[in-house]
Amino acid sequence: MPLDDASPEISGNERYAFTVNGVRYATNDPVKEGRDLLQKAGFNPASEHVLIELKHPGATSVGLDEEVDLSQPGREEFRAFRSDRTFNFTIDERGYEWGAPTITEDELRAISDTPENKALILERTDQPDHMIEPGTSVDLDGSGTEHIRTEQREYEIVVNARKVKVTSRDLTYAQVVALAFNPVPTGPDVIFTVTYRKGPPANPKGTLPEGGTVTIKNGMIFVVTQTNRS
């Protein structure tokens, strides 16, 4: 990816930018080997690391002697791992490689360009398929290749003891109140208290404030209580 001459990141003749683990680097040579990219980013010895090129969608390993043309659009984002092997998986039948034995839901979503309205489903042969929840990881170190598919997201939650289905990963205070009451009571003295439990690891339980938003998961329980201002 060529750099703009006015960019403050340019040093001398270094005109081609790339990132490794989110850190930006530059070089004056548009064609670099995988070994060069690792060494430029400080991953030494390069032979003890795995370099993964992120293609959005896609993630493939780059060999130490493999050339990368940084002048080509979309060939400038990489992840480096201290590892001696790669781990394989598929998302919607597209093959991916990774440099660690686990990968988070956020990373899966990012490298596959999966939007928030789609769920990531881990396919199993010996047990039911299950949704990969936000804040969780997938083990890639088992036998065989893990297979993941995407589908329209749907969560089943409980609001005031009633099961409801929603398609959004995040719910606002107003949305939860609307799920609890139909129609929603109104008036200058009407207020609501929204509490929840059995949420995802990042927010397992708590109180949702007015104007707030909360990330949900299957089976999450909400209790919405209507009170009057004193």
Per-residue pLDDT tens over the stretch 132-177: 988 899 999 988 889 999 998 888 999 999 999 998 889 999 999 9
- Provide the pLDDT for residue 74: 87
pLDDT-derived band of residue 8, with 50, 70 and 90 as boundaries?
Answer: very low
Q: Are residues 172 and 144 in the same domain?
A: no
What per-residue confidence (pLDDT) applies to 3?
Answer: 47
Total residue length of the chain: 230
Q: Which CATH number covers residue 34? A: 3.10.20
Q: Which range marks the domain in which residue 178 is found? A: 155-228
The DSSP code sequence of 142-163 is SSS-EEEEEEE--EEEEETTEE
| Shared domain check, 112 and 89 | yes
pLDDT at 10: 43
pTM: 0.70
Q: Which residue has the higher pLDDT, 116 or 30?
A: 30
* Long-range CB contacts (within 8 A, 24+) of 113-117: 113/56, 113/57, 114/150, 116/153, 116/168, 116/169, 116/170, 117/152, 117/153, 117/167, 117/168
Kindly tell me the burial class for residue 76, based on how many C-beta atoms sit within 10 Å of its own C-beta (0-12, 13-18, 19 or more).
buried
Q: How confident is the model at residue 81 (pLDDT cuts 50, 70, 90)?
A: very high
Q: Give me the number of domains the chain comprises.
A: 3
Q: Are 198 and 219 in contact (CB under 8 A)?
A: yes
